[in-house]
Amino acid sequence: MRTKLGKIARYLLLAVSGVGVSVILFGLYKTLRPIDALGEASDNCVREDFSPVPNGSGLVATAHFTSCDYFIIHGDQTTYIYVNKEGTKEGRKSLVYRFNNFEHLDRPEIKWTDKSSLHITVPAVGEVTRSCCIT
């Protein structure tokens, strides 16, 4: 009888520990995951907008940078680059390039080489999380 009670107590402790670890991991995921794929400012993230770069044919390249901190942990520094028609708002469909800055805080150099080609120069890129072309 005594060993069965001890065995049940150990299984119960194991189950409670598993639930506790799951709750902690879920909490860490909710805290440290990217808040918004478009880099909107939040309680943990600061946003800095860069000057728009028009191409002279109705398109404009816009960009912004976010720096996110979580408590005492330094988080991501990400740059977002969009191409929109002049007068329209940047959004998910116009996001063409998103990358981690790899600890470099230098602004990207953005210029149109012709009416349809955008040239982006940066000192270093950690991870490209979005790269696409608009046709």
DSSP string, 41-108: --SSEEEEEPPPEE-SSSEEEEEEEEEEEETTEEEEEEEEEEEEETTSPP-GGGEEEEEE-TT--PPP
Q: Between these two residues, 62 and 73, which has the higher pLDDT value? A: 62
pLDDT band at 82 (very low <50, low <70, confident <90, very high): very high
pLDDT for the residue 91: 83
Mean predicted confidence (pLDDT) in 54-68: 89
Is this structure's pTM higher than 0.95? Answer: no
The model's confidence at residue 46, banded by pLDDT at 50, 70 and 90, is confident
